[in-house]
Structure 1
Amino acid sequence: MRGPALAFALPALDSRLADRGLDTAGLHEIAAASETLSDDAAATLFLAGIAARFAEQPGHTMLWAVTAFDLYAPGIEQVGLGPDKILYGQGRKDIEVLAMAEDALRDGSLACVIAEVKAADMTATRRLQLAAADGQTPMLLYRRHRVRGRCPLAVPSAAMTRWRIGCVPSERLPWAGVGRPRWLVELVRQRSGNPFSLELEACDATGRLALPAATADRAAATERALSQAA
């Protein structure tokens, strides 16, 4: 059973998704574009921003399950996921983390569940997808790099969407300083839809992505031209 979709509130992204957003009763996978710390951080913040939006209602909490606790809480809080929103769980092995996530999904009381693993086969992902549907709870599975130079998304999965996130240079500012981070957001696979990639500005304090200013201006100009032609 599918749930309602959580839109990114970004037409350039939502219009390319088969469900016009992320199914709130499905499994969604995220991986970093490489094993570098910068790409790993980008992927972590991407899924944290999504989780922040799932849990934005007062009183809503989510589970973040890991084998190694290496999360940087202040960074996660900067994308809208404060400590009052997160329950942490730690297992010794991937199989324990996956079991913890499955139980949390079936409980149905959480805003969403995040699990970080290095290995999850088709059987494991199918179980997570079924548990997400049964509990009507979104599942975000972060596949950490296990083999250097090999994308974790190369193995088959039952996920509804599969995302790969990497860093790209931010826009040069007219003064000394660092611009808003930018990511290359790639949808590698989605059910009933095509893959695509977009260069986007990183999550803001509410977990929302944005188009780079120049891209947004071009999109607005195109939309005006189409409306005038009609």
Structure 2
Amino acid sequence: MPRPVDNTVVSELRERIQRLEGASGRGRQVLPFGVTEIDRRLPGGGLVLGSLHEVAGGGNGAIDGAAAALFCAGIAARSKGKVLWCVTRPDLFAPALAQVGLSPSRVIYVEAGDEKALLSCMEEGLRHGGLGAVVGELARLSMTASRRLQLAAESSGTLGIAIRRWRRQAEASDFGQPTASVTRWRVSVLPSVPLPVPGVGRARWLVELIRCRAGESADFEVEAPDAKGRIALPSELAHGSPEAQARRRSAAG
């Protein structure tokens, strides 16, 4: 009969790993999603501040990045302070960010000439230490570049988010390459909430936690952020139903 796992030993090991990975061994703060099913999958109960996180869109969203951007905007909306948002393509729709709680007055927009300049802007923003979050949209993220961003985030305690966007669907395979990011997410669009009257209901997403350092992979069907940046699990959702599984397979494809 297998021996039960000693949770005390597991906790101690996680603390030792965090001390080795952290900039100075200090305890790291987290930003919870406020959804128990998600937060319990993340070490510490939320997204670790002072770290780099990666988000990409699934399916056609790998090109437009709309759902991924709104997912990140909801996270940034719940941070404290200004948000630096770096892009190379001038297609960011500010009113949509405002709908998920990220007011235009909080966002500093930077349009970089290329991804090399964008990475430099992100690194400087992360090292600054006076921002709530630094977000950058880019196609490629090497181990070296991601490590520099991770170290910069650790030095200031600022939340860093890399939104991966590609110009061609075939390029999305780059998302499988290893990086120094603490978590890696993929957000795919699902059919919106049905309404009893004509109209479009609240958007739904399949959010996949593909990688989590010192944690486990998982996927969640959620409703898009509200006006305060908070996502939610649909109250009537039956995760084990065939309909839910079919929606997930369709979105992931």
What TM-score, normalized to structure 1?
A: 0.88
Give distance in 1, aligned partners of 2:129 and 2:181.
Answer: 19
Matched residue type, 1:156? P
Gaps of 5+ in 2: 1-21, 241-253
Give distance in 1, aligned partners of 2:173 and 2:196.
Answer: 36
SS at match of 2:117: helix
From 141, 159, 180, the counterpart of 1:158: 180
Give distance in 1, aligned partners of 2:190 and 2:60.
Answer: 15
Give distance in 2, aligned partners of 1:46 and 1:36.
Answer: 12
Q: Is it true that 1:189 corresponds to 2:205 in the alignment? A: no
Give distance in 2, aligned partners of 1:202 and 1:177.
Answer: 17
SS at match of 1:215: coil
What residue number does 2:164 align with? 143
- CA shift, 1:153, in A, is 1.8
Give distance in 2, aligned partners of 1:214 and 1:99.
Answer: 45
Number of aligned residue pairs: 214
- CA shift, 1:17, in A, is 1.2
- CA shift, 1:33, in A, is 0.5
Q: More deviation in 13-22 or 148-157? A: 148-157
Q: Is it true that 1:176 corresponds to 2:201 in the alignment? A: no
Contact 1:165 1:186 in 2 (8 A): yes
Q: Is it true that 1:49 corresponds to 2:71 in the alignment? A: no
1:107-159 residue CA offsets vs partner (Å, 9 max, x unmatched): 10111100111111000000000000001101001111244143442111100
Give distance in 2, aligned partners of 1:53 and 1:38.
Answer: 26
Distance 1:155 1:54, change over 3 A: same
Contact 1:164 1:187 in 2 (8 A): yes
Q: Identity percentage over the alignment?
A: 44
- CA shift, 1:192, in A, is 0.7
1:50-76 residue CA offsets vs partner (Å, 9 max, x unmatched): 001113xxxx21100111121111111
- CA shift, 1:39, in A, is 6.4
Distance 1:4 1:211, change over 3 A: same
Alignment of 1:1-230 (within 5 A): 1=22, 3-36=28-61, 40-55=65-80, 60-149=81-170, 150-215=172-237
- CA shift, 1:37, in A, is 8.0
Give distance in 1, aligned partners of 2:63 and 2:164.
Answer: 15
1:139-182 residue CA offsets vs partner (Å, 9 max, x unmatched): 00111124414344211110000000010012322222211100
Give distance in 1, aligned partners of 2:90 and 2:167.
Answer: 17
Contact 1:143 1:152 in 2 (8 A): no
Give distance in 2, aligned partners of 1:215 and 1:18.
Answer: 25
SS at match of 1:64: strand
Distance 1:39 1:167, change over 3 A: farther
Contact 2:186 2:208 in 1 (8 A): yes
Give distance in 2, aligned partners of 1:156 and 1:147.
Answer: 20
Give distance in 2, aligned partners of 1:8 and 1:179.
Answer: 22
Contact 1:38 1:167 in 2 (8 A): no
Distance 1:179 1:38, change over 3 A: farther
Distance 1:37 1:126, change over 3 A: closer
Matched residue type, 1:140? I
Gaps of 5+ in 1: 219-230
